[in-house]
């Protein structure tokens, strides 16, 4: 048995291409169930965020790993995926958990996302002793990195970068703002908007209960009417199709700011050509992210050193595990 990771992240594909690698929870559940039926796979976990899709396995060989991934994703996966095995896979996991592989260096959101992925895999029955121990090591290392360095000091999330961009382009306190979505990113957007003292926040979502939890709720069916009165709109859903269409913003008299943090994009192509409409997607947030990252660049070597300190004991544990597996 060996530890394997296959990954597609923001470094390996564009935002548009990233839309090809979004797995809904139901698909993830089916994927993990498929892994559970294969005797060659002991443990499996899926980490899917707006910046990455990663599969972690403890399995007999990489062939079965690649086969099960391509059965669910398709042949396009091998054109983009990076592959790690053994200690390289373990170190990659630890760096991801610590925010060192995120577009926003040291961001904390990935830690919560990894914990959620672990809990989901646990509920699906695809986590056994190996990943239970490995993931708790990852959590411990990530906490050590954040406590022993200033890698997370002032780090923005993607949602934070989106709101920061909006505040540069609009006076947010007086703006009429819509947040489309009810998931984790939408919740973060609302939190950041409240910190900016935005008074008028409307949440448009499919799920009334989830949307109402975040703020003043309207159903998605009313989106077109709401947008006609809005100053700023954030999109943060997992919809496969664009939710904001050109006809929704035609003949606008007042400026509209659209900020899309969804993967795939929730805004129809060519929207920036519409009169009085300004569009930002995740790619457009790079300048804000770059400036934010510059504040913590000096902490990266220190953070990597903290991760390295843990590797010998993890290596010894994996060697022992492999020996025990061979004996049994």
Per the structure, the complete domain to which residue 102 belongs is given by: 2-153+296-327
Q: Is 224 inside a domain boundary?
A: yes
Predicted local confidence at residue 242, as pLDDT: 85
Predicted local confidence at residue 325, as pLDDT: 60
Same domain, 13 and 148: yes
Predicted local confidence at residue 324, as pLDDT: 65
- Positions annotated as catalytic residues are 50
Number of alpha carbons in the 13 Å side-chain half-sphere of residue 157: 20
Tens digit of pLDDT for each residue in 130-173? 999 999 999 999 999 999 999 998 777 888 888 988 988 888 88
Q: Is 306 inside a domain boundary?
A: yes
The Cα–Cα gap between 277 and 94 comes to 41
Q: For residue 41, what are the β-bridge partners?
A: 59
Same domain, 264 and 313: no
Predicted local confidence at residue 53, as pLDDT: 93
Number of alpha carbons in the 13 Å side-chain half-sphere of residue 275: 5
Nearest to 72 by CA among 112, 122, 109, 21: 21
Q: Is 290 inside a domain boundary?
A: no
Low-confidence ranges of the chain (pLDDT < 50): 327-328
Handedness of CA 241, 119, 52, 163 (dihedral sign): positive
Q: How many domains does the chain have?
A: 2
Predicted local confidence at residue 327, as pLDDT: 45
Same domain, 9 and 123: yes
The Cα–Cα gap between 109 and 102 comes to 10
Predicted local confidence at residue 215, as pLDDT: 66
**CATH code for position 178:** 3.40.50.720
Q: Is 289 inside a domain boundary?
A: no
Cβ pair 236, 214 in contact under 8 A: no
């Amino acid at each position: 048995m060996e530890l394997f990771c296959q990954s597609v992240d923001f470094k390996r594909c564009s935002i548009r291409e990233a839309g090809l690698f979004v797995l809904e929870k139901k698909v993830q559940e089916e994927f993990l169930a498929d892994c559970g039926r294969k005797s060659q796979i002991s443990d499996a976990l899926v980490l899917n965020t707006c910046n990455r899709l990663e599969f972690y396995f403890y399995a007999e060989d990489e062939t079965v790993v690649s086969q099960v991934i391509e059965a669910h994703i398709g042949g396009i996966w091998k054109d983009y995926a990076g592959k790690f095995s053994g200690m390289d896979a373990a170190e990659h996991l630890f760096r991801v958990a610590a925010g060192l592989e995120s577009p926003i260096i040291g961001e904390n959101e990935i830690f919560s996302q990894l914990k959620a992925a672990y809990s989901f895999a646990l509920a699906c029955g695809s986590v056994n002793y190996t990943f239970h121990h490995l993931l708790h090591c990852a959590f411990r290392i990530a906490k050590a990195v954040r406590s022993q360095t200033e890698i997370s000091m002032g780090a923005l999330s993607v949602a934070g970068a989106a709101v920061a961009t909006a505040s540069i382009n609009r006076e947010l306190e007086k703006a009429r703002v819509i947040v489309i979505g009810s998931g984790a990113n939408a919740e973060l957007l609302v939190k950041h908007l409240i910190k900016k003292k935005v008074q008028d926040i409307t949440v448009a979502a499919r799920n009334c209960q989830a949307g109402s939890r975040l703020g003043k709720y309207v159903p998605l069916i009313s989106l077109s009417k709401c947008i006609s009165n809005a100053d700023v709109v954030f999109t943060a859903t997992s919809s496969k199709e664009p939710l904001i269409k050109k006809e929704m913003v035609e003949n606008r008299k007042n400026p509209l700011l659209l900020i899309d943090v969804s993967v795939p994009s929730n805004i129809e192509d060519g929207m920036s050509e519409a009169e009085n409409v300004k569009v930002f997607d995740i790619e457009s947030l790079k300048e804000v992210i770059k400036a934010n990252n510059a504040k913590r660049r000096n902490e990266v070597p220190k953070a990597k050193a903290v991760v390295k300190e843990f590797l010998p004991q993890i290596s010894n544990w994996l060697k022992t595990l492999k020996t025990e597996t061979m004996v049994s």
